[in-house]
Amino acid sequence: MALGVAMACSPQRGTIGAVLSRSPTGRIVIQEAPADLAAARAGLAPGDELLLVDGRDARAMDDPELRRALQGEPGTVVHLTAQRGEAVVRASVRLTPARHRRKIP
């Protein structure tokens, strides 16, 4: 199930600039992290598994709660912990204004 974090907010909302998905086992994985958006600039990459959002277990959050935790006022910093293979990646992501994807008819 795609969470669509990068495209599910209004222009006044900030976003981490990544598209996430949740596996049937509850793992949350970054599917897309465009180079010009916040998540990639903070060092996150596709394939990273999101573990913590501001110290809270991301896997224990339902989808609406996770969206709220990853969105907010542009400029707000969200602290993320992810796993990349055997490495733990910690990133401070400054939320940037959401940009909307073009809808494909």
For residue 84, give every residue at least 6 positions away whose Cβ sits within 8 Å of its Cβ, in sequence order, or none: 45, 47, 48, 49
Write the pLDDT tens digit of every residue in 47-74: 999 999 999 999 999 999 999 999 999 9
Write the pLDDT tens digit of every residue in 20-39: 999 999 999 999 999 999 99
Burial tier of 23 (Cβ tally within 10 Å: 0-12, 13-18, 19+): exposed
Distance CA 81, CA 66 (A): 14
Position 40: which residue type?
A
Q: What is the CB neighbour count within 10 angstroms for residue 63?
A: 16
Higher pLDDT, 98 or 20: 20
Q: Is the pTM of this model over 0.85?
A: no
98 pLDDT band, cuts 50/70/90, is confident
Taking 90 as the threshold, does the pLDDT of residue 12 lie above it? no
For residue 44, give every residue at least 6 positions away whose Cβ sits within 8 Å of its Cβ, in sequence order, or none: 16, 18, 30, 33, 80, 82, 89, 91, 93
- Which domains are assigned to the chain? 14-97 (2.30.42.10)
